[in-house]
Chain A
């Protein structure tokens, strides 16, 4: 009707087919939407939830480490750290460039660090800088919106208020290594977490660590928090109260200033260590940061070995201090009694070899107590001649040498007590009787740690009670004492000699303290290593070719404190180690004994 001029039926038919096709397509698309929206709804719902919720860890403050009077030795202070959230990075190279510029970081190192943690999920932040200076913090804060991919957070950071003091004992923290994260059986550590890597920080890491808290928050697509959903507060780690006396500790470290050596003091009644000094020391604050590998390596490679805890890791010949063991062995084996005498002419020929006394003119006739007082070598050569090396080894082991003391610090060394069996096994040689003579005055292959000597002294002081040395007060077996199989009377006889050594112008007189009957034994060890001595010559230090020992306790009756001092290259034991020990006894007495007396009045 309408179309007079034209016949449009063909093209209208074609347009109708098009409509049908379009309608069909729309229905198909609708079906697809139905599948996503209704059939797969659960799956996408979960993805949407995961999209918007983020879990943030809250670092738990580490437990404090305190001395016996609650002086804080290891503290926590707030510190800022910056992390990179790779999930929010749009242009990786550009981000690295601008971050390196903003934070004054080395671009390659930054990149290397991020690469190292590549295996972590992209939402887990990688710490790129810690221990920030305040001006850096404000700089980052001001440019926060430009860098949605970085996160600025406060974390409690370890701080050792006294720096060098007690460093070996406290240990230090380091970032958990990539391998440790990778091989951990269950998820325990995060990337960048700080864990104890030495000392008490390592030993009691689990106690100190506490439990991390978490924040569940809603975030937008750039990772910016919009609202907090829930928060679990972190549980701080437990505090560690040590048996260490900070005042004595500091005194001991002062005394060791400029020397290489160790001082350990412990209470023979319960095994509590009061002093634990190793010199040279280091400042753990200097490499608490995650980014101070260089400083740490410098310490590792320092020839003075400042990282080494000499109290349990330094191995030395005991020198004349070993005469205590010899005396106990000879008395108990019935070879001598307290009045048996030997004659010292200054030298003696044994097994076709001449052995000297340190006092060339000779001591003349002396009994056991006098022999200990003067540290006469000839007397003890005579004992060595009469005792087999294996018997000596038995007594040495009985007194705790050649085995770990079990103190609560990692890395303790065993030392060495030689025997025929040992020599056969490790050197594939038979034992020469002549070697026993060297062992009799604490030379030869014998090796002990300062702590082992302190424990040995403690057994003598208590007339035969062995205690477990420890630093952490409050473990269950505190003060457990075990009687060793030696009569008290024998101990008394040795103590008489040790008393004379200090109080009767013996070798140990440097440790003498009026009114505080110190008993002790000096020791001087010939150096095994010549290289160390040569190194010292190069450094322009006057070389004393011997290590200097003193180990003793006080007072004679009801002893309260054992002190063991080792000074490397300190010369004769009586010269260096004994006066240092005397200072410790003095400081102890001034602090503890006088107070008790006043209370007694």
Chain B
């Protein structure tokens, strides 16, 4: 069943770019948490190897098949998320982790892949020029259910990363303006209700902080302040690897996860930052080029939604570091420390590679 030809079509460029970004990440995780045990670095290296292996295995399976089993997969993941709410272990105040020996995994990361597969299945036969009302409701619910379950853990950051997928669907299906009005209304109402009844205090604080960053020097405003100081003090060429005072002296919070880009900006300066942005842009561009050569509608959806997910997460993270977006705990794909996020991103990217490999099937 496997065509030998498709092996030649494995997109080594994408894989290479991903490995490069991940390696840069590991190098700076090492710098950022130098004072702490180096086991973080080893763990991340192992995760990277595991993710690569998982990617190679995943691309062996035709995405058509994956789409065909997407609905049970989606249901399974939602059941797991629901179970976590009741039986999950509380780690860092959220019930978002499954603990397996020394490794912890966040199912909500992997769930996004199931969501993307379900959406691709939903729209693979959809030939309308505009999104119908039924399509609008169904797609919103498909994304909304696991996002809500994740938000309840409570992990607002990860829940927020579901949103670009939905936006991707709206864009591709050509959503009408009246739905946009409905969305805005829903957002306003849930925003109001959420603010007053659902959001925890620290989450509210973070949003408030975006508006007034210097109010609370030790809270979320402190994080933003320290992040901006790290980035700004890096200057054009940076303070040098391992010489950033903000990160080395631990002023910078979550240096090895959400704020790793600030470490890079501090130690390598604007030029280093430009380099990392460049690699990212190449990666995103490469993903888009897959969208354009995709063999079928399902392929376009898969590749585009994955691209949206990764690109937006990148964009939100770098905006967050300089105060253009609330600090919500969103890691930067491939760069931040964190195993399940790395694995999820590699698996998501494997779908894009998968689509590119099998673009000649109907010729």
Contacts and interface: CB of A to CB of B under 8 A. Distances in A.
B269 interface: yes
A8 B234 CA distance: 46
A37 B318 contact: no
A5 interface: yes
B232 A220 contact: no
A48 interface: yes
A222 interface: yes
A33 B270 contact: yes
Contacts of A89: 218
Nearest to B311: A22
A18 interface: yes
A12 to B, nearest CB: 6
A38 B235 contact: yes
A148 to B, nearest CB: 11
Interface string B244-255: 011001111000
Contacts of B232: 36-37, 40-41, 43-45, 47-48
Contacts of A49: 245
Given A22-B315, A26-B277, A90-B218, A2 B249 contact: no
A49 B239 CA distance: 12
Contacts of B228: 36, 44
A226 interface: yes
A244 B362 CA distance: 113
Contacts of A219: 249
B227 to A, nearest CB: 10
Contacts of B280: 26
Interface stretch (B15-23, B48-56, B153-161, B290-298): B290-298
A16 B229 contact: no
A23 B277 CA distance: 11
A33 B322 CA distance: 8
Given A10-B174, A221-B251, A38 B270 contact: yes
Nearest to B35: A220
Contacts of A3: 295
A51 B322 contact: no
B304 interface: yes
A29 interface: yes
B308 interface: yes
Interface string A62-100: 000000000000000000000000010110000000000
Contacts of B229: 44, 47-48, 51
B29 interface: no
B245 A52 contact: yes
Contact of B246 (A4, A37, A51, A122): A51
Contacts of B284: 19, 22
A187 interface: no
Nearest to A22: B311
Contact of A37 (B251, B273, B312): B273
A5 B245 contact: no
A481 B308 CA distance: 98
B218 to A, nearest CB: 6
A15 B297 contact: no
Contacts of A37: 231-232, 234-236, 265, 269-270, 273
Contact of A220 (B129, B250, B300, B359): B250
Contact of B324 (A26, A32, A40, A122): A32
A15 B304 contact: yes
B315 A11 contact: no
Given A29-B324, A33-B322, A221-B251, A4 B362 contact: yes
Contact of B319 (A10, A12, A29, A220): A29
Interface residues of B, number: 55
Nearest to B174: A14
Nearest to B225: A47
A33 B265 contact: yes
Nearest to A12: B292
Determine which residue in B232, B265, B273, B363 has the highest number of CB atoms from chain A within 10 A of its CB, and name it. B232
B274 interface: yes
A15 B303 CA distance: 10
Contacts of A45: 232-233, 235
B7 interface: no
A41 B297 contact: no
B288 A19 contact: yes
Contacts of A6: 127, 296-297
B281 interface: yes
Contacts of A5: 296, 362
Contacts of B322: 29, 32-33, 36
Interface in B191-245: 217-218, 226, 228-236, 245
A327 interface: no
B292 A16 contact: yes
Contact of B172 (A14, A47, A48, A220): A14
Contacts of B172: 11, 14-15
B79 interface: no
A343 interface: no
Interface string B264-288: 0100011001100100110011001
A2 B270 contact: no
B171 interface: yes
Given A2-B363, A37-B231, A18 B171 contact: yes
A29 B362 contact: no
A45 B246 CA distance: 10
Contact of A23 (B274, B281, B300, B362): B281
A25 B313 CA distance: 13
Contacts of A48: 229-230, 232-233, 245-246
Interface in B27-51: none
B123 to A, nearest CB: 9
Contacts of A467: none
Given A2-B359, A4-B362, A37-B236, A11 B249 contact: no
B251 A26 contact: no
Most B Cβ at <10 Å: residue of A5, A16, A19, A43: A19
A528 to B, nearest CB: 63
Nearest to B289: A19
B195 to A, nearest CB: 24
A34 interface: yes
B294 to A, nearest CB: 7
B291 A38 contact: no
B129 A10 contact: yes
Contacts of B251: 51-52, 220-221
Given A11-B172, A22-B311, A38-B236, A218 B269 contact: no
Interface string B71-92: 0000000000000000000000
Contacts of B292: 12, 15-16
A541 B261 CA distance: 84
A543 interface: no
Contacts of A218: 245, 249
Contact of B249 (A8, A34, A220): A220
A102 interface: no
Contacts of B274: 30
A8 to B, nearest CB: 6
Contacts of A40: 232
B235 to A, nearest CB: 4
A18 B171 CA distance: 8
Report which residue of B129, B249, B318, B324 has the largest number of chain A beta carbons within 10 angstroms of its beta carbon: B249
Contacts of B265: 33, 37
Given A33-B231, A37-B234, A221-B252, 12 more contacts: A2-B360, A5-B362, A8-B300, A15-B171, A15-B304, A16-B288, A16-B292, A38-B235, A43-B232, A44-B228, A52-B251, A87-B217
Interface of A: 2-6, 8, 10-12, 14-19, 22-23, 25-26, 29-30, 32-34, 36-38, 40-41, 43-45, 47-49, 51-52, 87, 89-90, 122, 218-222, 226
13 contacts: A5-B296, A8-B297, A14-B171, A16-B288, A19-B288, A30-B277, A33-B265, A37-B234, A41-B236, A48-B229, A48-B232, A52-B245, A218-B249
Nearest 4 A/B pairs, CB to CB: A44-B232, A48-B233, A221-B251, A37-B270
